[in-house]
Chain A
Amino acid sequence: MIEVKNLNKSFNGIKVLNDISVSFETGKTNLIIGRSGSGKTVLLKSIVGLHDIDTGEIWYEGDLFNKLEFSEKKKIRSEMGMLFQGSALFDSLTVQQNVRFPLDMFTNLTPGEKADRVRFCLNRVNILNADKLFPAELSGGMKKRVAIARAIALNPKYLFCDEPNSGLDPLTAILIDELIKELTEEFQMTTIVNTHDMNSVMEIGEKIVFIHEGNKCWEGDKNEILNSTCQTLNEFVFSNALAKKLREE
């Protein structure tokens, strides 16, 4: 479980996150939703420690993460996997080497054991036949899959996904969503997904947090989101023509 308490973050005096308190549950796909520029990515990057926060607390189980030293954070970080918006695969490494990278850095496995683990991860994301390719030779969807394979290589307790569907067609986006949900349940991870894609919300949203202009405006699940009385949330959820039509019906 990850708990955020009274988190505040500003850049050059401009407040981006305002007193955010939320908890993310283990074994569930937790979604942070909101418009572009609402502070979702800053919140996610603050939770994983890529941004230093101004005030507040970030708890990983019993550890106050934001107060730990770099060396102390390493243990928790070795239990994190993250899927970045642009996949962030290492350009100079092949698919296989990208997935093996965390194993080389943090385990003492034999080359054979590493190869088995890499094969398992690539097989799990259905991309086994591309292991010799470089990231530049992959499509957007394939890159996301490889990034997921790399993120799960060390069997993480926490999985973070920053807009996993951006730039993907609707069918590939659904496949990526389903993969994230399956992996979360299979490995009992605490997964946090940043998205503004309502398809994702309705597909995988077990716990949903809505952020608007740096404030937490609403919290609930995918069954509650359609009946919310929160005005800003409704504007976001029913912003496209199809959703408006469905609501009217």
Chain B
Amino acid sequence: MILKFLTQAGLYFLFLKKVFSKPEKARIYYKQTLRELVSLGVNSIGIIAIISFFMGAVITLQTAYNTENPIYPTYLIGLGTRDSIILEFSSSVAALILAGKVGSNIASEIGTMRVTEQIDALEIMGINSAAYLTLPKIIATLIFNPFLTLMSISIGIFGGWSAGTISGVITSANYIYGIQYAFIPYYITYSLIKTVFFAFIITSIAAFKGYYVSGGSLEVGQASTQAVVYSSVLILLFNVILTQLLLS
């Protein structure tokens, strides 16, 4: 078990060494990165927007129903929603969602290329296949995921306002006052730092699992599942480590 873990860890770091070696032709990698920005970034806007809106709405309603006490001012509902979304939802929970969507996509794409000998075809041409297939994906997610996080924060807070005002648990003015009250800008920085780490974990783990697939469609499916499971566990682990490092 330990030996297997160490072997996998060693293989992962050797894979990363290959990924971060000098590209054959920078212009091709640039074009590939633009494609991945659309494929992995722009195409994730929809799901992140929908989930953020409803999570913001639910957080607001739950906060409201759990703080029904005349001692607490209602604007704290806005504050609670804001901090929950910025500190945890838009970075960590959104990363777990992306691990499922983007991670499985990357692992199955690269895994299929492996079992259909497309990666061998790249190697025969003298192309560093690990770098060609993975580096543009990593760069694209490192660039785009922070935008997704900022978008998620905005839509989540808007979702909270919508649910709060429509259901009548808080007035618009109180909610807006609440989301401005005792605001700490560093929380945004903290959220973005976490997002960048998580983006790297999602992309590199998924690419690694896909790259070393052997067998057929069954193994590609297994690799895709493993990519989601491993990256989710690592996201949760690094969430604890980064929180301790950045907020203590």
Do A and B originate from a single complex?
yes
What are the residues of chain B within 8 A of A101 when measuring CB–CB?
Answer: 125
Find A50's partner among B28, B116, B123, B126 (CB 8 Å cutoff): B123
Please pick, from A74, A75, A88, the residue contacting B121 in the complex, using a CB distance under 8 A: A88
B120 touches A105 (CB 8 A): no
Q: Flag whether B173 is at the interface (Cβ < 8 A).
A: no
B25 in contact with A88 (CB, 8 Å): no
Quote the shortest CB–CB distance from B48 to chain A (angstroms): 24
CB neighbours of A89 from chain B (8 A) = 118
Instruction: Decide yes or no whether B88 CB sits under 8 A from chain A.
Output: no
List, in ascending order, chain B residues with CB within 8 A of A75's CB.
126
Instruction: Produce 1/0 per residue, B12-30, CB < 8 A to A.
Output: 0000000000001100100
B127 interface residue (CB < 8 Å to A)? yes
Binary per-residue interface labels of chain A (89-121) against chain B in the complex, 1 for a CB within 8 Å, 0 otherwise: 111000000000110111000000000000000
Instruction: Collect the chain A residues with CB atoms within 8 Å of residue B68's CB.
Output: none
A84 and B125 contacting across the interface, CB-CB below 8 Å: no
Bound complex: CA A83 to CA B58 (Å): 56
Tell me the minimal C-beta distance from B7 to chain A in angstroms.
14
Name the CB-closest residue of A to B128.
Answer: A70
Please give, as numbers and ranges, the residues of chain A lying within 8 Å of B116 by CB-CB distance. Answer: 86, 88, 91
B125 touches A78 (CB 8 A): yes
Q: How large is the interface on A (under 10, 10 to 19, 20 to 34, 35 or more residues)?
A: 20 to 34
Report yes or no: A90 in contact with B118, Cβ–Cβ below 8 A.
yes
Are B24 and A50 in contact, CB atoms less than 8 angstroms apart?
no
A70–B127 CA distance with the chains assembled, in angstroms: 10
> Are A106 and B118 in contact (CB-based, < 8 A)?
no
B120 touches A78 (CB 8 A): no
Q: Are A50 and B124 also in contact (CB < 8 A) when A104-B28, A105-B25 are?
A: yes
A38 CB-CB contact with B under 8 Å: no
- Assembly CA distance A235 to B25 (angstroms): 51
Note all chain A residues with C-beta closer than 8 A to B127: 105
Task: Select one of B24, B28, B126 contacting A73, CB under 8 A.
Answer: B126
Q: How large is the interface on B (under 10, 10 to 19, 20 to 34, 35 or more residues)?
A: 10 to 19
Contact of B120 among A50, A73, A102, A106 (CB under 8 A): A50
- Does the CB pair B121–A84 fall under 8 Å? yes
Known contacts: A104-B28, A105-B25, A105-B28. The answer to whether A77 contacts B117 by CB under 8 A is: no
Nearest-neighbour CB distance to chain B for A60, whole angstroms, equals 13
**Bound: A200/B126 CA distance, A:** 29
- Tell me if A155 is interfacial: C-beta within 8 Å of chain B: no
- A102 pairs with B117, CB closer than 8 A: no
User: A91 CA to B116 CA in the complex, in Å?
Assistant: 10
The docked-state distance in angstroms from the alpha carbon of A62 to that of B18 is: 28
CA distance A89 to B118 in the complex (A): 6
Complex CA–CA separation, A101 to B125 (angstroms): 10
Contact of B24 with A105 in the complex, beta carbons under 8 Å: yes
A residues in contact with B113, CB < 8 Å: 91
- Are B124 and A48 in contact, CB atoms less than 8 angstroms apart? yes
Which residues of A have CB within 8 Å of B118?
88-91
- The answer to whether A180 has its CB under 8 Å from any CB of chain B is no
Closest residue of chain A to B112 (Cβ to Cβ) is A91
A48 to B125, CA, bound (A): 10
With A105-B24, A106-B25 given, can you name 9 additional A-B contacts, CB distance below 8 Å?
A77-B124, A84-B117, A85-B117, A86-B117, A88-B121, A91-B113, A101-B125, A104-B25, A105-B127
Binding site for A on B (CB under 8 A): 24-25, 28, 112-113, 116-118, 120-121, 123-128
Q: What would be 11 A-B contacts, judged by CB atoms less than 8 Å apart?
A: A73-B126, A74-B126, A78-B125, A80-B126, A84-B117, A85-B117, A91-B113, A91-B118, A102-B125, A105-B25, A106-B125
